[in-house]
Chains A and B, each alone.
Chain A
């Protein structure tokens, strides 16, 4: 089973700052099967990035995804108030797994 480890657990930043979230896979994964989700309190998760670097429908271009080998990164270039949420990475193969999440909170 592939294990996804996200870091940091919590990111404290101010609006307008850049957020960099990391997701490391325990073994090689297809970049085409790596996604990021945003979840706000009391809501279902929302797809943000799929295929490691493709923005989902309606996601603003301040969100971007990249990767190198087993290290995947979600970057939010300039944080808006609505971006403060929990973010999960996911490997969506035949047995999907999620990372444990990174909380982006207002500093």
Chain B
């Protein structure tokens, strides 16, 4: 079954970091890019960046430059997104989504991971 399965919900304190995982199955991991999108409560979708799963090349949205790091482990077909310097405004559901930059849309999504930032 083709799917992306994300890690579970997490609660962090302001200033801390969080690392969310996204495990791919049912397809060749390195054939597609992995994007990260977040959605704050009651708000729309916000693209954070993408990673070429084969080369590891990353492009981050300007808003998150310096705070986000996207990596992958090709042997386990898992992508990771780490966000540092957390603040309350980072409370959101974080999604990974499969696509191919500039060519294919986000055809496959993970189930989402709720990250709550609270003291």
On A, residues with C-beta under 8 Å from B are 33, 35, 37, 39, 44-47, 50, 56, 88, 90, 92-101
Contacts and interface: CB of A to CB of B under 8 A. Distances in A.
B107 A56 contact: yes
Given A92-B99, A95-B59, A95-B61, A44 B111 contact: yes
A35 B109 CA distance: 14
B40 to A, nearest CB: 13
Contacts, number: 58
Interface of B: 35, 37, 44-47, 50, 59, 61, 95, 97, 99, 101-102, 104-107, 109-112
Nearest to B105: A35
Given A44-B112, A95-B59, A96-B35, A35 B47 contact: no
Interface class of chain B by DSSP: strand
A50 B105 contact: yes
Given A33-B102, A44-B110, A98 B95 contact: no
Contacts of B45: 37, 39, 45, 88, 90, 98, 101
A35 B106 contact: yes
B44 A100 contact: yes
Nearest to A1: B62
Contact of B106 (A47, A94, A101): A47
A56 B102 CA distance: 17
Contacts of A35: 105-106
A94 to B, nearest CB: 6
Given A90-B106, A92-B106, A98 B101 contact: no
Contact of B109 (A44, A93, A97, A100): A44
A22 B97 CA distance: 24
A94 B44 contact: no
A94 B109 contact: no
A101 B112 CA distance: 19
B47 A94 contact: no
A98 B102 contact: no
Contacts of B46: 98
